[in-house]
Structure 1
């Protein structure tokens, strides 16, 4: 899915490295616009006040590499991952293409500290946990907010960035485990293109394109069009997974210090939300279906319009601004198994569940950054304002359906005569101000401090009860970090970050705090990055979703929880065409105190959070075979340790899971490539989720794609 780009190597002069240190600590709050500067010197570096920035590389410089060295979280002002005081993982275009990662869950499944797809054949959302908690999601540094429930399209993005640990000082209200930032594809100011077609298991057919060029002779206007059409089924019977996606963007760069971007994208999904689950008494074949074929739908339609402005003044001052509007409709309904371990006989009860919802959101920010020298220290100061205005509606229904015989399933049709049990309208208004200060001493020591204040106003209207309630919150969050450059290749850091999760009426905001220390190694001899970290993460006022029979999903506060862990990650492009990425994480999760539906959960482990996660992916470019063409083979392995299925720890544990994946690519002509991917080669089947039914992991899939680039 990647597109070719020229590769340049930035110089490593002392002044350039100073600003890299500063920006590495300032990342996550700039805007998605290409970095440029003011005046050039003879060496090709650009001077911003007394600090020199080297801009001899493109913003998507690592699109053709699996080892990202620059962090764009919040924008394309590239900042050094080596000098960022946090554990960061980046999945680039090249890796997404190599592994044929067609869903966000697939993109993230080889990332240490992240467990994905723990609901198996529940396909309503992208499911992943970072360090034991739901990840907060962002697109180009702006929260997805009420758009979070939509399965994102990976082909729309240059890369996915994961920053471990909560950081409300930079992001605003967010969960403490970590953040996932989707970096949107934007114009490149040169001609490029890609078209592909693929076909695979479950009649999965898709075509896509990604093209762009400069529009005028002056080279000041560029465009990019990205599109994908998918016609597919899912693993279970009576399913579909159809999609249409289109992204168009234009960038105007009249001078080297000013750029304006505008983009529109449209996503439409016509799918099925759920297999209905499988009874609890044994392992069933995946081709059995216990839902209801005539009542199994999930329709999503979203329109997004975005704009961004970047301008650099003299003397080190920069202005960045973003604005995004989104409109969403999301409707689903399905019948599912409502089994019990005490059931006798072959007749299994079933229920139905569904929701019709809408969301509308306007979000934007304005950011000023000032770089200068204060005495013997290099200084970077960042201040900003952010706002969000969102509204949602939902109408949810739930009830009993006819039972089904596991030995002779007979479908009885869609439920009739049901009425919604909940009809809600909500509005959310957020205003935020934030300030961050970075000081670099002697190119070795970087001190980072930050503060943020969020004002949140929430209004809820219960349209069935005819009541309206309001709540207001005012929350502070802080951040502090110290980075020490041991050598030009090694950096060590320690940090403290706070998080404030979005509250709801009737609950207090969930607050998180994380202490982390780590070390990173980026050798100059070859393209690689190695990271090791240890952390202690706590969260108070924890709210968990609980399935209450006859009522549905309700949210309940359980008190305090904690995760402690270690993580190791390695990404390297070695000699002789060998590339590796892999990692290991250990997570010790625990509910410190709390009660859920009258049951004490003190000392219990989190649901769906294993103690151990490990993965490795290797690719090897076979020696040049001349006229035969270039051949690359890949092999990957993932291990997911056992985890409890619920917060009570009383419905058993998942088995340890091991998956083997493989890839093969053959460039039989210039810029033309055939790829074959096999996921879950040995077709392992596990119960990955359990509630009123069992949910299984995805079985073996095989996909072949033909791709042409220029």
Structure 2
């Protein structure tokens, strides 16, 4: 049953204990031998030369996503947006949605001020999340990730089941976790802001001694905040601790632990769909029944070894366990002159996941043809217990709210109580050939997936099971027109289990794409443009009104997108993106929605962020000015295309000041002009987009 979140004093004590324990564990570790390393380390389950300075530049030159092989960005036959930690800090992004909202092809914020999950779509479809190349799961229904944990976030456009496993055809988001680098890191920050926001964070790292083979990293934050709606809070404790042992240049072993605790609120409970402009702070739920809790621990072990002669081995094992849940009251239809019906909605979940990957990478040269081959296997075991409650609550008067109390879950029967077990075994092969200016990449993967669900009923447990195995393929061709310019074409497939039940065929997808990439030698910049067609078959979607999966058959998205990231000089940098999407439900389950557009899929979307540094003088430090604009076209809220949002322009801004070489201050403002629109509606209820939020951060490093 639901356990209330611990007090803030208890959370502070827990955080201090975690910090002390991790630091002691690191300080007690003693190096076995002395060995210099060259600073090239793996960023994931595949090898990648860490030549990108993600904390210094918004432009990335290498990627881990795409074909499944670490690649130079111009050599990959896929469209990939990389959001580095430097860009995340520049824009002051504090959530995954904020990290992604300036990337082409990505739609965010379509559920308004709903903080239960990370809500984003890529090219019109739900997107799966990965961490260091290994599956986390569907972002909708998952844990909200902490951006401070990652060096970069890679957004892969298009199907990618061959490269990483289960995915939808629109694309995937791959988080690259911060890990020990062997370099000295000393950074602290403090933030204050809107809604009583207070936050402290740090990122520390080093070797244990100048010539030590052991290095460590400790990253964390603690947040005490509220949100823009009355009776809400947005608290968080996060800690990441990592150890890496590099006995030789050829071998790396690393162990990472991270803890994420969130004590937040689900959403605003909604506003009556009467056409009236309500204040965002108005709360029509129940103060005693308004929580969103996540308590997750993750342990990751990595081993990498270079045998020489072009052969290397990599393996990663990750274990995750945790609990989560929410409880809130959302609104129904208007029942009187100023009264509206309400419903209690609650969820409690316990989860335990294990995933392990092992692979061999072989690099060779055959008569002038360069070859890279990855052969690997992966195993996953996911366990989840999920209980949900849904029942009517007393009506409320929005002109004079009187709260009546929460729902006693111990004395209320749930409407759903299930235990899910999913195991998956996979083998995969990725191949790349390079002949002069021509780069050919192809891959094949086979997954065996077993699913079991036990539904707990008063009359007894009922078990249903299903299994399927699926082969997915990908093929891509890149031609280097010049060293700065490449053209590519690719075909890729995707597969995910059916959302509507185990007896259904899995949801399959495919994408055709052509594009060009340009990276000038004169400046740090990258421009990517592509045209694509995606199709998904046997599709189910989550109805935002009923929160249930509904089959819609087949859908298709055609489009074009362009994205540019550039550091024009030491003073001026920019990120620009434009996306055009034409979506269609080709075949619906009952035929009534044939020809309709997909929900939450705007036809046009564009964004621009410009950053300009005003050089300081002998008396003044540098002044850093940032301004961003995001345009989202109108989109349908449901598959029936019965209601639609309005198009919206939203502006963001930032001002930074270098107090000294080691200390700077930055003011970030999201939704600068407090633009307000209805992002989502359902059950005769409206949900607004997030309002203006201001945060002031002081950073110090040495």
- Contact map agreement 1:300 1:331 (CA 8 A) in 2: yes
Q: Tell me the distance in 1 between the aligned counterparts of 2:68 and 2:658.
A: 31
- Identify if the C-alpha distance between structure 1 residues 167 and 34 changes in structure 2 by more than 3 Å, giving closer, same or farther: closer
Question: 1:298 offset after TM fit, Å?
Answer: 1.2
Between 1:503-512 and 1:536-545, the stretch displaced more is 503-512
d(CA) in 2 for partners of 1:371 and 1:520? 25
Contact 1:169/1:478 (<8 A) preserved: yes
Q: Does 1:31 align with 2:44?
A: yes
Alignment of 1:653-692 (within 5 A): 653-692=644-683
Whole-Å Cα distance in 2 between the matches of residues 527 and 76 of structure 1? 25
Residue 24 (structure 1) aligns with: none
Contact 1:227-1:246 at 8 Å conserved across structures = yes
CA contact (8 A) 1:31 1:76 kept: no
Out of 426, 431, 455, the residue aligned to residue 437 of structure 1 is 431
Residue deviations 1:527-582 (CA, integer Å, cap 9, x gap): 1001100000000000112367xxx5321221100000000001100135110111
The aligned residue for residue 596 of structure 2 is 604
Q: Following the alignment from structure 1 to structure 2, what is the Cα–Cα distance between the partners of residues 411 and 426?
A: 36
Q: Normalising by the residue count of structure 2, what TM-score does the alignment of the two structures yield?
A: 0.90
Distance in structure 2 (CA, Å) of the matches to 1:76 and 1:436: 7
Q: Report if the CA contact (8 A) 2:384-2:421 is conserved.
A: yes
Q: Is the 8 A contact 1:30 1:75 kept in 2?
A: no
Equivalent position of 2:512 in the other structure: 515
User: Partner of 1:565 in structure 2?
Assistant: 559
Query: Quick check: 68-77 or 448-457, which moved more?
Result: 68-77
8 A contact 2:67–2:442 mirrored in 1: no
After the TM superposition, which of the residue ranges 89-98 and 572-581 deviates more from structure 2? 572-581
**Residue 30 of structure 1 contacts residue 367 of structure 1 at CA under 8 Å; is this kept in 2?**
no
Report the equivalent of 1:481.
476
**Deviation of 1:226 (Å):** 0.3
Aligned counterpart for 2:160 among listed residues 160, 167, 170 = 167
How far is the alpha carbon of 1:623 from its aligned partner?
Answer: 2.9
> 1:313 is paired with a residue of what secondary structure?
strand
User: Which residue of the other structure, out of 199, 204, 207, is the alignment partner of 1:206?
Assistant: 199
CA distance in 2, matches of 1:306, 1:356: 25
For residues 195 and 218 of structure 1, the distance between their equivalents in structure 2, rounded to whole angstroms, comes to 26
C-alpha contact (below 8 Å) 1:381/1:437 kept by paired residues: yes
- Contact 1:622-1:631 at 8 Å conserved across structures: yes
The aligned counterpart of 1:240 is 233
* Partner residue in 2 for 1:502: 497
CA distance in 2, matches of 1:668, 1:544: 50
Q: Secondary structure at the match of 2:97?
A: helix
Alignment of 1:388 with 2:380, yes or no, is yes
**Matched positions, count:** 652
Q: 2:523 aligns with which of 521, 526, 548?
A: 526
**How far apart are 1:410 and its partner, in Å?**
1.2
CA distance in 2, matches of 1:235, 1:667: 30
CA-based RMSD:
1.8
- Contact kept, 8 Å, 1:31 with 1:74, in 2: the verdict is no
How do 1:243-392 residues align onto structure 2 when only pairs under 5 Å count?
A: 243-282=236-275, 283-339=277-333, 345-392=337-384
Shift of 1:625: 2.1
Q: Secondary structure at the match of 1:590?
A: strand
Residue 77 of structure 1 deviates from its aligned partner by 8.5
Partners in 2 of 1:300 and 1:30 — Cα distance?
A: 26
Partner in structure 1 of residue 587 of structure 2: 593
Deviation at 1:62, TM superposition (A): 3.3
Q: Is the 8 A contact 1:194 1:210 kept in 2?
A: yes
CA distance in 1, matches of 2:110, 2:566: 29
- Partners of 1:217 and 1:406 lie apart in 2 by 65
Runs of 5+ unmatched residues, structure 1: 1-28, 36-54
CA–CA distance in 1 between the matches of 2:93 and 2:639?
Answer: 30
Q: Give, in whole Å, the separation in 1 of the partners of 2:62 and 2:618.
A: 35
After superposition, give the CA deviation of every residue in 1:255-300 in whole Å (9 maximum; x if it has no partner).
0000001010001111111210111012211121111111111111
Contact 1:233 1:241 in 2 (8 A): yes
